[in-house]
Structure 1
Amino acid sequence: HIAPGINLLADLLLGFSMMLIVLDDFKLRTQRLRVVNALTTTIARAQQHGPMMLTALEELKGLMKVKAAWFRVLEGDKMVIAQHIGISPEFLKAAGYLKLGQTQQKVLQEAKPVVIKAAAADDTVREYLKQEGFHHIVVTPVLGKKSPIGTLALGSTQRRFYTREDLDFLSTTANQLGIAVENLRLLEQVLRSQRQWMNTFDSIQDLILAHDSEYRIIKANQALLQRLGQAPFAVVGNLCEAVLPRKDSDWTGCPYCARGDADFIEGPDPCFGGHSMVSTSSYSEQGSKQKGIIHVVRDTTERQAVEEKYRLLFEQVQEGVFVATPDGKLLDCNDAFVKMLGHSTREELMALNVDIELYASAEQREAFRREIEHHNYVRNFEVTLRKKDGSLLTAAESSFATRNAAGAIERYQGFVVDMTEKKRSEDDMRRRNRELNALNAMAVIATQSFDLDEILNLTLRQVMSLFGAETGSIYLSDLDETTFRRRAGWGQRSEQRAHFSEVVFPDGFGDLVMRSRTEVLTLEFLPHLPPLVVDFVQADGLPAWIWVLLWSKDKPIGIMGVSSREAREYSSNDENLLVAIGRQLATTIEKVRLYEETCRAYEDLRRTQEQLLQSEKMSAVGQLIAGVAHELNNPLTAILGYAQLLEGEGLDERSADFVRKLFKQAQRTHRVVQNLLSFARQRKPQKQEVDIRKVLEETLTLRDYDFKVSNIAVERDFGPDVPAVTADPHQLEQVFLNIINNAVDALLESGGGGALKVRIASENGNVCTTFRDTGPGIKDPKRIFDPFYTTKSVGKGTGLGLSICYGIVKEHGGDITAHNDPAGGAVVEIRLPASGRVAPAEAAVAPRREAAIEGRILLAEDEEAVLEFERDVLVGAGAQVVTAMSSDEVKNRLSSETFDAIIINGKMPGDWGAPEVYHWLTEKYAGMEKRTLFTFSSVADQEIRKFLQENNVPLLVKPFEVVDLIKHARGLLQQKAQAASAD
C-alpha cells in the first residue's frame, strides 16, 4: 500500500529531474555555441593558421574539460605536432615527431573521431601517454577539401563517456578548422607571392614609373621613391606633373613620353639631370581596355663619365694609339704615337703613308696583313718603324681589324709599344738566367760529386762562359798556406802563365788584402799587391782580367781568375757574381776536403777494425792450435822418449834403423806442432837477429802435406852465405805463410799441380826472398796490396792477407812487390835490410855421460802413457819413483810419505794448475816448492808464463828430450843434497 502523496512526490521529482536535464543540455549547447562563435570569429580575423589553431585548442580544452590538446600536421608519412597546449616539453620532445601509424591512418581514412585508451595506444606513444597521466585521448581527423590536413587530439586524465553529439561536435569543429587552415594556407601563399613580387620590384636599382593614359601614376618602385624622397601615398594616384621634378626642360604629361615613341632613348635626363637611358613599354590590365605606360629609367651619367675618361686615356696614354686604313692612310692617333716617331704635330704624322713611310720592312708589313686577315688581330707583333730622323725603332704592335657588312677590312686600330726598354730588360733577364743556370749547375755538381778536379773544371768553364773569357785558372793552397798549385785551367796559356803551375807567395797577398779580406782583385788593387802577386795576376798578358780570392775563415785557400782579349770593364754586378761563385766554390772545397779527411779517417778505422778482427781470429786459431798441441805433445813425449831409450838398448842394425826413422818422424811431427804454436801465438813483436832461411823452411813445413797432396813441387834456392836480418821471426813466418797460401790457391784454381820456386839471396845490403809460382798470374798487380782487394770467390778471401803483409814488411824497413812473370805465373819479392853478419849455425850438442841419480821423486801426470815414460826414464837413471794421476792422490802421497823432489804436470785436472800447486806446497810443505819441476804441453797462457818467470820455477815443455828430464831431476835432487849437507 503506497502512502498518500507518494505518487505526487515522485511526479515532482521526476519533473524536476527532467527540468535539470533540459537545463544541463541547454547549458552544454550554449557552451558549444559559444565555442563555435569564438572559432568563427577567430577564423574570420585570422591571417595565419597557427594562432587560429592555438585559439581553437584552448576553446576545445576548456569545453571538453581535458588536460591537454594538440594539433598534428601531416607531412608526407610523418605526423608533426604544430600547435599544442597542456603537454610537457618531455612529451613534445619524445612524441612530437612520429611516423604515420596504423591508428593515425585509420582515423584519417574513416574521417570520424576515435577514443583511444592510453593502455591500447601504439607502442610508439603508449609510454609517453602514461607518463603524461592520460587515461585516454580523443583523436579527430582534420580534413581539407581534397586531402587530410592532420589530426586534433584531446588528452584526458579521467574516465568519460562521449555522446554522439560530443563526437559530432568535434568532427564538425575539426572540419571547420580544416577548411580554415587550408584557406589560410592559400592566403599565406598569395601574400607571400605578392611580397616576393613587390620585393623584386623594389629591389631593381633602375627607376620604374607606371602611369595610365591620363599620366596618373599607378606604381613607383622603391628606387624612384628614394630618388624623389617621397612616401608611396604621396606619389601613387597623383599626376606626373605634380610629382616629378623639372630639370632645365619643359614637358607636359610625362617627361619620358614627351621624348618620343621609341622603345629606347638615351640622352639628358629631363627630371633628375645627368644622362639616362629610358625603356618604354605599354600594357593593359586584365579585363580592362585602359592602357598604361611603364618607363624603366637607367642612369648612364657614370657611363658617360667613363667614356670621357677613356677618351682622355686615348689622348694621354704613353703608348702609341692609332687608327689606319688598309691602304696606309692614318685616320687618327694620339700624341704619344706622334712623340714616339719623333714628329712635332699630329697633322704632320697623319700626312704620311703608314705602309711606305712608317714601316721600315715590307716583309714585316706583309706578314702583318696575313696574320690579321687570318685571325682578325695581332698581339705583340714585332715591327720596325722609321722615325722622323731616319733612325729605326723596334716596337710591339697589338691591333685588330674592323670590318664592314661585307666582311672587308675597313681599318686597323691598336697600340704600339716602344720595345727599347723591354729589350734591355730581356737582355738583363737572359743574363740573369745564364748566371742562375751557371750557379745551379755549379751547385748541382758540388752536391752530387766529391771529385774536386771535376768540380773545379766545371766551375771554371761556367765562369769563363758567363764572362766571355778566353783563359781561366784555379789555384789551391797547400798546407803551408803560401804555396798555390794550379788545379784547373782552360784556354791557351801564355809562356809566363805556364811557369806558374806552382807559385809561392811568401808575403801573402799584401796587408791591405789580408786586413780587409778583399775578395775581388782588379786593376785598382795593383799598387797594393806584392810584386810577385802582380806578375801572377797579369801573367796571361791579356788586357782584361779579374781574380777572386777563395776565403776560408780568415785565410785564402785558393784563387780563381779569368782573362779576355777584348778590353772591357767589369761592373759591380760582375764582381758580385764572381764573389758569389767564389764563396760557393770555397764552401765546396772545404766540404770536399772534409769529406776526404773523413774518408781517410773511416778507412783507417776500418783497417784498424779489420786488423782487430784478424787479431781476434788469430787468437781463436791460437787457442784451437794450443788445444790440439796439448793433445799431440803428450803422446809425442812418450814416442820420442821411448825412441831415445830404445837407441841405448843395443839393438841389431835393422831394428836400430827402424828406431832412428821413428825418432826422426816424431821429431818432424814435433816441429810441425811447434811451428803451428809459434804462428798462432799472439804477442808483441820482438825483433832479433834471425836466419831467414830457417824461418822460411819452418813455414814450408806447415804446408808440406798440401804440397804432396796437390802435386806441387817446391824448389828451394838458398844462398850459402845469406846474412841474418833483424826481425820478428813470428811476423816473418806470417808473411811467408800468406804468400805461400796465395800461391797454393792460385795453383789449385788453375787445375792443380805446378811448381813453387823459393829463392833467398843477398843483394846490395838486403836479403831478397823471391816466391815464383806457375799459376795464372795476378789480375791487377797494382791493387794486390790494397785492403779488401781479393780475386777469390765469395767466402774464400777477405782481401786482408797481403795488406797485412805489406804493413809488416814496411815496419821492418823493407819492401814487398808483386808482378807477373812474362813466362807465366806470379812473382812476389820481399827485401829486408841485412844485419851485416852471417846467420849463426846451430851448435851441435855433444853427448856426455852423467852419474846415476839418487833420491825419492813424486811423479804426477794425468795421461798414463806420459806417466809411464817419465817413470821408466827416471827409474832407469837410478831414482826411486812414486807415481800419481790426480791432485787428491798427490796430496795423499805427500801427507803419508817423504820425497826429495816433485815432477808434476802444470795443468792437472780439477783446476790444479802450476800457480795453485806452487802456493799449496809453499803453505803446506815449505821449501818443497823449490824442488818441484812442472811439465807443460804448451805455455801459451800469458799469465802462467808470467808466474813461472817471476818465481823462477823450472819447467819442461813437451815433448822433451830424455837427457833434459834427467838433467832437471838431477838438479832438483842436488838441491836436496846441498840443503842436507848445509844442515
Structure 2
Amino acid sequence: MPEPAPAPPSRPPVSISALLELEQPALVLLDSNYKIVAANRGACLLSGFQPDRILGLDFFSLFEPMEREKLNDSIKSGIPQTALELQLVTAQGKMIPVGVSCAAAEGQIWVAMWDLQPLWDLKNLADEARDRVDRISNMGDVGIIVYDHDFRIEFANQMAGEILGRPAQELLGGELTEFLGKVQSIQLRNHHSTFHLDQQRRVRMELPVERPDGTRKLVEIYLSMTSNESAPVRTYAYLRDLTERVEMENELRKTNQFLQNVIKSSVDGIIAADMKGNIIIFNEGAERLLGYRAEEVIGKIHITQLYPPGVAKKIMRRLRSENYGPKGKLPTTPTTIVAKSGEHIPVRISAAIVYEGDREIASVGIFRDLRERIKMQQQLEETYRQLLHSEKLASLGKLAAGVAHELNNPLGGILMYANMLLEQAGGGPAAQDLREIVEQTLRCKEIVRGLLDFARRRGEELARVQLNEVLEKCAGLMSKQASFLNIRWDKHFQPNLPQVAADSDQLSQVFTNLIVNAADAMEGKGTLGIRTWAEGEPPQVHVEISDTGSGIPEEHLQKIFDPFFTTKEVGKGTGLGLSIAYGIVRRMGGDIQVRSKLGQGTTFHLRFPLEAPARIAAEAQEGLAGIRDREGRAVQVVLAGEKGLMRLLSFYDSFEPKDAFEGLPPGLKRERRKWVIGLMGGWRNFLLLHGEEVIGHIGVTLGESDLEEVIIFIHQDYRGKGIGSMALRHVGDLMAREGCRRLWLTVESTNTSAIRCFQKAGFRFTSRELQPEMEMMMDLEA
C-alpha cells in the first residue's frame, strides 16, 4: 500500500515561554471558559497575584462587576478590540486603571493589559495646569487673546470677553477682526505687517471698540508674536480697558485747569514752594505785586529771597507752632516782602503747609497788598485831621469875630486919646511913653484886623485863573523888597498850565504869605523855589513853594495851620497867616500840605481842582443818569454813591449806584419823578467843607424839576451838628420852597438829630411803615 502523503508543514508554535517572561505588556491566556491558563510576569506584577495563584482564576473576577459586561462583550465578539479603559482589582484590593485589548485565534484568547496610572497622572497634571492658567489669566484686569496667523482665536480669557462685550467661549474659533470695527481691523493688520521685520518687538496701539450693546470702549492693546520652528506662529494680544481711566484723566484735567484758573486769576498773590524752598507756583497776582515774571522765579529763586532776612524762617516757625492757630496753618498776619525793585512791600499773608500723609511736601502763601489800604488810611487820617482843623477854625473864627468887635471900640478910644495927649505933650518927658502907647495900640489894631480877616469868609468871586500868572505877579512884587535882595529865585512853571476855578485876589494873598514866610525862614539868604505842574485823575494843578531855610521841627508840623501858632519871634507874626491861607485853599476845593526837615528847608504843596465843586457835582450827576428803582421807574440821583463822592471829596473808594435803592420802601409806588439824596459815609464831612456849593447845586437842580417827593438815605448814624445840621435844614427849606410835599426818610438807627432838621423846615410825622424805627414818612405841614 502506498505510503501516506506527508502532512503539510504546520505553523511554528508560538513560544509561550518567551511571552511569559515579558513584563510589558501584561499578557494572559484564556481558555474557552475564560479561565486564565497562562500569565506572564507582567500580568503577575500588575495584578499582584503570584504565578501559582493567578492560574485558574476567572478573568472577569479581576475587574469591577459594572465593567465585566463591557469586557465580556468585547471578548465574545471574537473581533480584535481597541483598548478599553477599565479598573483592575489587585490581589491587595487596590483599584488600578488599566488598558485592556484582546484577540481570539484558534480557540485561544489572548488579553494584553497595561497600567494607565502614569498616563492618568500626566492627564491630571495637565488638567490642573490648564485650570491654573485659566484662573491666573482671569484674575487680573487684562484681557488675553491668542490667535494664529489667520487671526483665528485659539484662547480668550474672561476679561477679553468683558472688554469686547461677548462671552469668552463665543470668541473661540472666530476671527479677531470680526469683533473690531473696519477701521480698527485695518490698523491691526497694518501693525501685523511690520512683524516680519522683527518678530521680537512689541506693538502698542489704542483702538476705540464698539460693543454689541452699542457702548464704546477705548482699548489699549499690546501685541507680541512667538516664533518657533517646531510650532506654528502665535500672536498674543493683551487688552486693557482705558475708558474709565481716560474719563478720570479728563475730569482731573478739568479740575486742575479750574484750580489753575482760580490761582491765576486771583487778585491776591499766591506763591507756593517745596520744602527745599524752590518756588513752584507764582500766579499773576504775585507778578503784579512783586514785579517778577513767573518764569523768572519758578525753579530759579529761593523763597527766602522774597522776604527780608529772617522773615521766611519766622513764618515757617509759626506755621509749625500751635501758638498762632492750627498747626500747619497761619491765619492772616501782617508782614513785609521784597519786590524785584528792592521795595519792601507791606502785605497780609495767610499761609499753610501742604501735607502728604504726615510728610510736609510744600508751603503756600496768599499775599494781599496793603499799600493802597495804608495810603487810604493815611488819607483818611489826614482828612480827619483837616476836618478837625476846619471845625477848630470855624469855632475860633466865631470867637475871634466876637473878640475883635469887642476890642475894636476900646482900642479906637485908646488910640484917639493917646494921639491927643501926644500932641499936647509936645517934646516933654511923657511924649516917648505916649508914642509907645500909640505904637502898641496900632499893633493891637493890626492883630484885631487879622482876627477879622480870619473870621470873615468873603464870598469867592470864582473865575478861570492861570496860576502861573498869579505866581509871577506875586514873585515880581516881592522881589523888589529889600528882604529879597540876596535871595535866588528858582522858578519852574509848566507851559500851558490848565486854568483853575478860583478867586485871583485870595490866591495872591495865599501865595504872598507863603513867599514871605519862606524869605523869613532863610533870613534873607538862600534859594526860593516855585514850581507848577498838572497831573492826576481827576486832573489837578499843583504848586510847590520851597525854601532852603532852617526847617520846621517835626513836632510843630501838625500845628502849623492852627490859628495863633507861630515859630517866629514875639512881635514878628500873629500866627494867623497860614490859618487864613489854609481856609482859602480848602474853600476853593483844594488842599495844602507841608513837609520839612531841620536844616534842609520847607516845602508847601498846594493842589487845586480844575473845576469848582458845584460843576464837579453836576458832572457826577450826569454820570448817574438813567438809574431805575425796583419798579422800573426812572429815579434821579443827587450825589448818591461813593463813586460820585470820590470825584467830589477825593476820598473814600468804590460804590455801585444800585446800593442806594436797597432800602426803598415798598409802599412808595407813585408814578411821578423822584429825587434821591444819598447821605452816605463821608457826607457830613463833605457838607462841612463844601456845604454852600453843594446845597446851591441841589437847590438849582430841585428848582428845575417840579418835585413832589424826595427820598433821603442816611446810611450812617448821622449826628446833625454844626454846619452839617444847618445843611440838612437848608435842604429841607429848599425842598419845601420848591414844591416838595412829602419826604421819605431812611436811617440805620433812630436818629432824632436828622429828623429835627427836617421838622424845623416844616415837615411833620404823618405815618410809619415797615420797621417803625427804620423808615418813616413825613408830610409838609399845611
- The two structures have a TM-score, normalised by structure 1, of 0.21
- The structure whose Rg is larger is 1
Bigger proportion of residues as helix = 1
Give the alignment's TM-score, normalised by structure 2: 0.26
